[in-house]
Structure 1
Amino acid sequence: MIMRFVVADEFLKLPAADQREVINAAAPQLGILPAVAEKNVWVCFALNALFSIPDRRPMVFKGGTSLSKVFNLIERFSEDIDISVNFLKDYGESISKTKATNIREQIEANLQAYKKDLLFPALQEQAKQLSLTVEPGDTEWEIHINYKSVLASGVDYIKTRVKIELSGRKETEPSQEYKVRPYLAEKTIDLIFPEATIEALLAERTFWEKVTLIHAGLHSGDIQNTPERMSRHWSDVSVLMKTETGERAIQDQDLCLRVVNHKDVFWRDAKAKYDDCRNRKFRLVPAGDALAVLKADYESMLEARMFFSEKPATFDEIMADIAELEARLNTLS
């Protein structure tokens, strides 16, 4: 059923009771929780707020949220916004490991100033029109946009804030322009929702970003130390590997090496063992404590109904896919 309104109006300016009615009516039709549908509106608001800032630097939207919102490749609600701001263009094409140390420090200082002087004030200006609050996040690279839920009850796993995570050291190509809109817009007529025109990192690159993140995390021990919301990377890769996009990425070994080489230069960590990626020794399958904490994290995602599918993959099914991918990557000629 499509909800129709006699007079076109902006959803975010409706009274809370009317917003709640729209969300509660549309969410079951979409197969998602009301809290998921509500937060998705604010994700789109945040994307529009970011990409409509005058005089901003070139940047791209990337990560799991882009896989679901832009490319429709995964049936998972992604709640955070990963943004790469292009500071690398200031330093030319080829950067050695020796030069990278100083450049990293410069980029991080520039990104902090950019966040403080441009992004934060611009987001605050847009947020105050809707009684939102904008605050620093849990790390120096995060910005949180906090919203007040109109729902009677929420879900612990789904925070009433949109986390924007910034990076200035990551590459922003290949990318392309796309438009995104909230899920609720599919089930309503004559309501105006926040929409955004954004630049998104292509999904083929995101595939390798996630594969190398998994590899490095298992070697470094980061997975066991900070497992919350990490199982989604294994879930995303298990879905991507079965798509045409995933197959293109797997066959694009030049792109794989580009991602590996960039991480090795700008995130120098001997424990990550990036050389193993170059030598067809990917490690993607967790074991022991890492396996246990990831399984618990994935169960939390299932309980929060973060997937649109009526029957999401089980954790064991995901790990079977990942084992297959690991074997394939390590035997590619």
Structure 2
Amino acid sequence: MDIFDFYRDKTKRSDLKDIFKDASQKHPDGLGEVFIEKDIWVTELLRLLFDEGLLEGKAVAFKGGTALSKRWKAIERFSEDIDLSIHWHDMLNGDKPEAEAWAETTMSNSQNKKFREAQTKRLEEWTLGFFERLKARLDAYGIEGLQANYLNSEKVEVYYPIVAEQTGSHYHLGPVLLEFGARNRGKPTEPSQLTTYLSEIEEYEEALSLPVAEDVLVFDPSYIIWEKLTALHQFCTSEKSPKAARLARHWYDVDCMMCKEIVDPLGNHQAINDVVEMKSARWSVKGVDFSLASTGKLCLIPDEPLRTEIAQDFVEMVEGGMYFGKPDDFSTILDRLSSTEKMINESLFLLSNTKT
């Protein structure tokens, strides 16, 4: 039976609720039923985006925590948002080669500002068109309560009728959030087949027709880890301390990628240079020098009081059931990341001195 038929027929929703409850008990990682349900919609949305062409042929990379979780099982937490990066050059009007367009739009602060303003308008126009396509496609399901909500040029929410029993955790946000960006890279990527957590339970894989996203373009992991490393560097060195809410996951994700050896952070120097160049040009933050991250002065360990605040955020994530099982204490994660910081800095310092 098609999983979505349970949603179409309200009399079958109690059966679906029982399925989610049973699946939570049988899932190898003990994933909560509310997350098993939400993942069905995350996977189906990825299928619509990439397999059915709702992205209109743009070079778009699926990245972030959800990509790490669904593509590589790199992290043992439920990541419920869909983070999508449209390759910046694909959004430009005109036929200038990418290298020429990059040089022109980054040659000065005024040109960079002009680019950001124009790109914001282009993204808004594109996202509004995407929203209408998505809305029409969701209407075709014939499921009451399934709808898209346009928030702004970078965010579209998808609401679905929640059947699974709720835990009351504030860390679980109801709708699936699609987040778009058009100032970053949307490549290199690798095509990947992504399935649901429910399909990991054999009896439901055999009994139900579950969504499969066949050709999702996932961002190269060398770029993912450096986007995350430079994000930590930003949080730790910014003149204005960031709000700790929902930030602890970034430290956890990097630690998991290192522990599971998903990618060697020093194995792709092109990725390092590309990410640092992009962040320096497009994402400048007061007090943050991204170039230090590539020359042996990467900072991954926050000072107080941010360190304590992030540790508390981590506790709230654990209590909110966002992890599969019990993760290591945040202090242990920071100890490992301190070693990671030292290893990366020593290598890149030697490399930068060799070049000079």
Within the candidate set 90, 106, 111, 2:118 is matched to: 106
Within the candidate set 160, 184, 194, 1:180 is matched to: 194
Aligned residue runs from structure 1 range 122-137, under 5 A: 122-128=133-139, 129=141, 130-131=143-144, 132-137=146-151
* Structure 2 Cα separation of the partners of residues 235 and 285 of structure 1: 12
Shift of 1:221: 5.2
Matching residue of 1:211:
229
Q: How many residues align?
A: 320
Q: Is the 8 A contact 2:34 2:165 kept in 1?
A: no
Return the structure number with greater strand share: 1
* Structure 2 Cα separation of the partners of residues 86 and 199 of structure 1: 12
Matching residue of 2:34:
35
- Gapped runs of 5+ residues in structure 2? 7-11, 351-356
Matching residue of 1:53:
53
Q: 1:140 to 1:219 in 2, by over 3 A?
A: farther
1:142 corresponds to 2:186: no
The one-letter amino acid of 2:131's match is: F
1:279 corresponds to 2:295: yes
Shift of 1:216: 1.1
Within the candidate set 13, 20, 23, 1:23 is matched to: 20
Matching residue of 1:233:
250
Matching residue of 2:353:
none
* Structure 1 Cα separation of the partners of residues 301 and 321 of structure 2: 24
* Structure 2 Cα separation of the partners of residues 182 and 251 of structure 1: 31
The one-letter amino acid of 1:10's match is: D
Q: Is the 8 A contact 2:239 2:288 kept in 1?
A: no
- 209-218 or 54-63, which moves further after superposition? 54-63
* Structure 1 Cα separation of the partners of residues 326 and 114 of structure 2: 49
Within the candidate set 296, 305, 329, 2:344 is matched to: 329
Alignment RMSD (CA, Å): 1.8
Listed one character per residue, the Cα deviations across residues 77-132 of structure 1 (whole Å, up to 9, x for unaligned) are 11111001123244533323224332222222111100002x10122122232231
Shift of 1:162: 0.4
* Structure 2 Cα separation of the partners of residues 245 and 100 of structure 1: 34
- 82-91 or 320-329, which moves further after superposition? 82-91
Shift of 1:166: 0.3
* Structure 2 Cα separation of the partners of residues 214 and 75 of structure 1: 19
1:293 corresponds to 2:292: no
* Structure 1 Cα separation of the partners of residues 211 and 167 of structure 2: 22
Normalization by structure 1: what TM-score?
0.90
Matching residue of 2:175:
161
Runs of 4+ in 1 over 4 A off after TM superposition: none
Shift of 1:76: 1.6
Matching residue of 1:63:
64
Q: Is the 8 A contact 1:209 1:259 kept in 2?
A: yes
1:93 corresponds to 2:98: yes
* Structure 1 Cα separation of the partners of residues 337 and 261 of structure 2: 17
* Structure 2 Cα separation of the partners of residues 299 and 151 of structure 1: 24
Higher relative contact order (CA 8 A, sep 6+): 1
* Structure 1 Cα separation of the partners of residues 231 and 98 of structure 2: 23
Q: SS of the counterpart of 1:78? A: coil
* Structure 2 Cα separation of the partners of residues 77 and 176 of structure 1: 22
Q: What is the aligned-residue identity percentage?
A: 25
* Structure 2 Cα separation of the partners of residues 179 and 288 of structure 1: 42
Q: Is the 8 A contact 1:53 1:122 kept in 2?
A: no
Shift of 1:225: 3.5
* Structure 1 Cα separation of the partners of residues 18 and 307 of structure 2: 41
The one-letter amino acid of 1:276's match is: L
1:315 corresponds to 2:330: yes
Within the candidate set 269, 281, 288, 1:265 is matched to: 281
Q: Is the 8 A contact 2:299 2:341 kept in 1?
A: yes
Matching residue of 1:10:
2
Q: Is the 8 A contact 2:87 2:187 kept in 1?
A: no
Normalization by structure 2: what TM-score?
0.85
* Structure 2 Cα separation of the partners of residues 233 and 272 of structure 1: 18
- Gapped runs of 5+ residues in structure 1? 1-8
Listed one character per residue, the Cα deviations across residues 200-234 of structure 1 (whole Å, up to 9, x for unaligned) are 10212100000001101222256x44322211110
